[in-house]
Amino acid sequence: MFCRISCLFFVLVFGGLVHAGPLTDPHPNITDQELFWGSDQYDFAVVLHASGMECFWHFAHKGETFYLNFMVQWVTGVGHDRHLSVHVNAPSGLLVANVDDAQGQINFEAKETGFYQMCFSNFHNRFGTMQIFLSFGVYYDSFQDPSQLREEEKKRKEEASKDLNNTLSIIQASSHKVENHVFHMFRFYGFSRMRKSADFYLLRSNSQYISWWSTALSLLIVTSGYLQLLFLKRLFITKTGNEEEKPRC
Residue 38 and residue 137: Cα distance in Å, rounded? 9
69 falls within a domain: yes
pLDDT digits 0-9 by tens, 134-147: 999 888 765 455 55
Q: What is the CATH number of the domain that holds 90?
A: 2.60.120.680
134 falls within a domain: yes
pLDDT digits 0-9 by tens, 100-144: 998 899 999 899 989 999 999 998 888 888 999 999 988 876 545
135 falls within a domain: yes
68 falls within a domain: yes
Number of domains in the chain: 1
Q: Of 14 and 120, which is predicted with more confidence?
A: 120
DSSP track, 64-133: PEEEEEEEEEEEESTT----EEEEEE-TTS-EEEEEEESEEEEEEE--S-EEEEEEEE-TT-SS-EEEEE
196 falls within a domain: yes
